[in-house]
Amino acid sequence: MKQRDEISERDHPKRKWTSRSIGSSFQHGIFYFLVRTGGQQAAYFLLYIVVFYYALFSLNARKKTRYYLSHRFGSRTRFEKFKDTYLMILGFGKVLVDRAIVGILGPEKMNVRFQDREKLLELLDKNQGLILMFSHSGCWQVAMSSMGLINVPVNMLLHHEEGDVDRHYFEHTGQPAPYKVIDPRGYLGGVLEMINVLQEGEILCVMGDRVMGSDSNSVSVDFLGESALFPYSAFKLASATGVPVVVLFSYKTGPAAYEMEVADIIYAPENIGRKGENYRPYVTRFVQVLEKFTRDHPYQFFNFYDMWE
């Protein structure tokens, strides 16, 4: 156990971000109750009020949204700042409600259009694994719910911590997870499991915009006008196992509609070496498509910590 703890601690020092939920378990429960009894409309009705309150009175909520919004929009008037904060929190709240709808009322309640599905199937037909790179944009869980249509096991690198009270969509029904969770706090950051699933031709889902381990596993790349740290671990895995990294974005297009798109397919060649610098071109390519996403969908990138620090 000692070795595990030492490696875990070294690779996971104090993170700048947390996966802890906004709101208490009770408050989330109210929304789940509304979804069950009144559907999306009832839950959205309460959401508009709660978000208005948060945007107006919660200094903490305003502060947490400003990190991203100030980089995305630059100088803004007071009213514009309020509007930006309101729309960003509202967008995030809707995603949480929609996620609960998929879990409680079923995936058929959400229309997910995946225009690039054939591209993904073509890659999977080659019987090689692939890395699906998500980011904190749109609703990856709604996207995951439509992954059931793809007949290949899906694995998710997921950090779940105490205080994370909002449920994953499958937890509402008490069903087992439709994907296998790989914990990055496990022995050697879960890399053994990740290599295994990729070599078995399975899908590994990772977040491309969040540093899971230490800062040393990241490179600094310009994002929205200033340097920010992004992880390169996925590209190292891709290089070592010869699988592509498929950048997948999901975004809300209507009250009960989401779109998924393959924004890029990135191949990291073999033998790039162990230095993070060597992976910068591939990380930069991901960051460029992420930046384009924030231009197209400014209120659907849900970053609530200072990644530029």
Partner 1 sequence: MSMNEKLKNIIIEDLNLEDITPKEIIDDDPLFGEGLGLDSLDAVELVVLVQKHFGVEIKTMEEARPAFQSIKSLADYIEERLAA
Among 181, 240, 256, 257, binds partner 1 (CB under 8 A): 240
User: Residue 175 in 3-state DSSP?
Assistant: coil
Q: In the complex, what is the shortest distance from the CB of residue 20 to partner 1, in angstroms, rounded to a whole number?
A: 24
Q: Which stretch binds partner 1 (CB under 8 A): 35-43, 75-83, 112-120, 186-194?
A: 186-194
Instruction: State how far the Cα of 234 lies from the Cα of 243, in Å rounded to an integer.
Output: 10
Under the binding rule (CB under 8 A), the answer on residue 233 touching partner 1 is yes
User: Residue 35 in 3-state DSSP?
Assistant: helix
- Nearest CB to partner 1, comparing residues 107 and 276: 276
Q: In the complex, what is the shortest distance from the CB of residue 196 to partner 1, in angstroms, rounded to a whole number?
A: 6
- Nearest CB to partner 1, comparing residues 172 and 236: 236
Instruction: State how far the Cα of 289 lies from the Cα of 265, in Å rounded to an integer.
Output: 11
Q: What is the DSSP letter of 21?
A: P
Residues 3-42 that bind partner 1 (CB under 8 A): 3-4, 6-7, 10-11
Q: In the complex, what is the shortest distance from the CB of residue 250 to partner 1, in angstroms, rounded to a whole number?
A: 28
Instruction: State how far the Cα of 283 lies from the Cα of 288, in Å rounded to an integer.
Output: 9
Q: Which stretch binds partner 1 (CB under 8 A): 44-52, 184-192, 219-227, 297-305?
A: 184-192
- Nearest CB to partner 1, comparing residues 205 and 238: 238
- Nearest CB to partner 1, comparing residues 70 and 217: 217
Instruction: State how far the Cα of 259 lies from the Cα of 113, in Å rounded to an integer.
Output: 5
Q: In the complex, what is the shortest distance from the CB of residue 235 to partner 1, in angstroms, rounded to a whole number?
A: 10
- Nearest CB to partner 1, comparing residues 56 and 192: 192
Instruction: State how far the Cα of 22 lies from the Cα of 2, in Å rounded to an integer.
Output: 34
Among 93, 129, 189, 244, binds partner 1 (CB under 8 A): 189
Instruction: State how far the Cα of 66 lies from the Cα of 270, in Å rounded to an integer.
Output: 40
Burial class of 196 by CB neighbour count within 10 A (0 to 12, 13 to 18, 19+): middle
The count of residues interacting with partner 1 (CB under 8 A) is 28
Under the binding rule (CB under 8 A), the answer on residue 183 touching partner 1 is no
The identity of residue 243, as a single letter, is: V
Residue 235 is inside which H or E element, if any? Answer: helix 233-241
Under the binding rule (CB under 8 A), the answer on residue 191 touching partner 1 is yes
Instruction: State how far the Cα of 173 lies from the Cα of 152, in Å rounded to an integer.
Output: 22
Structure tokens at 214: 């230490």
Under the binding rule (CB under 8 A), the answer on residue 274 touching partner 1 is yes
**Residue 199's closest CA among 120, 129, 151?**
129
- Nearest CB to partner 1, comparing residues 72 and 236: 236
> What is the contact surface with partner 1 in residues (CB under 8 A)?
3-4, 6-7, 10-11, 186-189, 191-196, 213-214, 216-217, 233, 236-237, 240-241, 273-275
